[in-house]
Amino acid sequence: MLPQAPQPGSRTFSIELAYEGSGFLGWQIQAMGRTVQGELRAACERILAQPLNVSGAGRTDTGVHARASLCSFPALSARRADELWRGLRRILPPDIHVRRVDERAAGFNARFSARAREYGYRLVRGLDPFRRRLAWCSSYHLDVETMRAELAALSGRRDCRGFCVTSSLPPQAWCDFQLVELEERGDELLLRVRCDRFLHSMVRSLAGTLHDVGRGRLEPGALERVLRTGERAQCGVVAPPQGLYLERVVYEEFSTGGPEGWSRLEDGENPQRLTE
């Protein structure tokens, strides 16, 4: 769906936010159930007293989290960015955190203006009831070096149709891989992937296939085979949603994930005060 054209005299706001996705049916508003877009739109409409069309940079699925996502909307309002920031901090539920609010140039759209997105997938080696809603806790022994060697396939522009849910496959499925790495942090592994675009369930399919290579269920070279053949049947399991995080969104002049706080500070105002 193309973005709605702003009305003459309207201003465009962007909201950078983080959310813990366990209690949501994903980002996008559904006919039934709680969503991040639904909560945020209701709060913005309450503050600005008008109906709004809120566009999000990442349409995360049920149970998926975000550390620094972005949404935007045009509004006919005299409210300032700092007023909206403070109002949202006051009335939004605790599993949504507004990091900052900015006013953008006319025509800016959080989804269509994005140049790249970065996702992280968090995998815990071992069963941990305290982290089970925030990571994939796997009981298998994983060969980390073999998993790292697999990542060589994820370089440059590749056809990723084999990693997309078949029912959501777009007409063309080329993705430009800008960053791929596997970090080891104690008993945790963090897969980080940055692309110009992502397909439905792409990162979870990548993470699940990588996991199955690491545990020995799939032969090394599985990622390259899926990319070469485009056959989804060559993938491993689809990793569960709770390990996936939208880490940042990259735009032409800025990216999300920087210092928190309302960005348009008055001269002499202490930025720390705005994040208390």
Cα→Cα distances 234→140, 214, 231, Å: 20, 15, 6
Q: How far apart are CA 188 and CA 138, in angstroms?
A: 10
- For residue 140, how many other CB atoms are within 10 A of its CB? 13
Nearest Cα neighbor of 192 from 181, 201, 205, 177 is 181
Tokens of 64: 């998926």
- For residue 268, how many other CB atoms are within 10 A of its CB? 5
> What is the gyration radius of the CA atoms in the chain, in angstroms?
20
Nearest Cα neighbor of 242 from 165, 163, 132 is 132
Q: How far apart are CA 205 and CA 215, in angstroms?
A: 15
From 61, 82, 95, 196, active-site residue: 61
Per the rule left: phi > 0, alpha: psi between -120 and 50, beta: everything else, 147 is: alpha
Establish whether 102 is a catalytic residue: no
Active site residues: 61
